[in-house]
Amino acid sequence: MGELVDRVDERDVVLGVVDREEAVRSRWLHRIATVVCRDGEGRFLVHRRPAGMRRFPGQVNWMLGGAAGVGESYEEASARELAEELGVIVRPRFVFKFLCDGVISPYWLAVHEAVITQALRPDPEEIAWHAWLTEPELADMAGRPDFVADAREAFARYRAFPARLAGPGAS
C-alpha cells in the first residue's frame, strides 16, 4: 500500500482509511493541507514543481503542501509539509478550508499561512525554482496557463478572505 489518508465526507467527517491513489482514482474526498508563505515584506513565495512530478509537473504554485496523513490534523500536516519541502520549522496559521472539486480529484483543501524569515532549503525533488512576488505580481502569474488550476481557485478565495495576513509586519 502507498500513502494512507483519511477518506472523508462532504462535512469533512472521517469515513475510513484509504490509499491516496485509490482515493484519487475513485474520486473520494480526502484532506490536503497547504501553506501560503510570506516574507517579512509581505511578498508571496511561488515555486515551480519539477518536470518529473506525478501531480502538476512543471507547473507553478503559490502554496506548499500535500495530503494529511491518517489522523493528522490540517495544522500538523501543513507544518510537516513546510519542513519537508522548504526545510523551515514554523507553525502555520489556519486561514480557511473549502471543498475543492480539483483537477485530479475532489478534496478538502485547508489553507494556512506563515511568515518565513529564515533561510529556505528547498527540496529539489519538490521545488525546481522559487521566488518572492508581490500580490499584484502573483495575481498576474496566477493567470498564466502553467499555474496550477486548483491553486488559482485557492488564490481567488484567499484574496477575498478577510482574516488573512495583511502584508508587511502582519502576524
The identity of residue 143, as a single letter, is G
Query: What's the pLDDT at 166?
Result: 53
Asked if 100 and 34 count as a contact pair (C-beta separation under 8 A), the reply is no
d(CA 40, CA 90): 14
Q: Where are the alpha helices (DSSP H) in the chain?
A: 20-26, 74-86, 135-142, 149-160
- Residue for grid cell 495576513: 165
Q: What does the CA dihedral 160, 165, 167, 171 come to, rounded to 10 degrees?
A: 170
Q: Report the Cα–Cα distance between both ends of the chain, in Å, rounded.
A: 40
Query: What's the pLDDT at 171?
Result: 36
Task: Spell out the residues 6+ positions from residue 164 whose beta carbon is closer than 8 angstroms to its own.
Answer: 36, 95, 113, 158
Pairing of strands 107-115, 93-100: antiparallel
Q: What are the pLDDT tens digits along the chain (171 aa)?
A: 689 999 999 999 999 999 999 999 999 999 999 999 999 999 999 999 999 888 899 999 999 999 999 999 999 999 999 999 999 999 999 999 999 999 889 999 999 999 999 999 999 999 999 999 999 999 999 999 999 999 999 999 999 987 666 554 343
d(CA 90, CA 81): 11
Helix axes 135-142, 149-160, angle to 10 degrees: 140
